Amino acid sequence: MEETHLTQLGREVRGFDSPDTAVLERVPNPHPDAAYLVRFAVPEFTSLCPVTGQPDFAHLVIEYVPAAWLVESKSLKLYLGAFRNHGAFHEDCTVAIGKRLVAELAPAWLRIGGYWYPRGGIPIDVFWQSGPAPQGLWLPDQGVASYRGRG
């Protein structure tokens, strides 16, 4: 396996001002011969509305089938945190995160569900995947209920 040079794990890292400058790091997959699912649940994702500057909140579920690489989880946390002061629409945030992970990891498959909390009375759910799921993959439900308001 290729040696990795992690710059964030085990070190104090200030964070990043924007997703574009955030560094995503990867580590070798110890089981590249197995098709297995990795899931990250991000129940407190935050970004800003690009028009009003108001905060937007989402519950993200990121799932992927690794090939040669795994995303290093601290770097993922810092990358996602970089959206906190970033202005973008819900669709842009969700799809950009999925595409960035695919570009960095070249996974066998990836999907992301963005379950956005309502603003203006309308919740927006955004889903993106890199292609069809590998045949035979156990793909559990993402576990996030559709927004039902108060009833």
Residues that are catalytic: 49, 56
Closest CA to 138 of 46, 48, 63, 31: 63
CA torsion sign for 116, 110, 139, 26 is: negative
In angstroms, what CA-CA distances link 1 with 29, 43, 110, 137? 9, 33, 22, 25
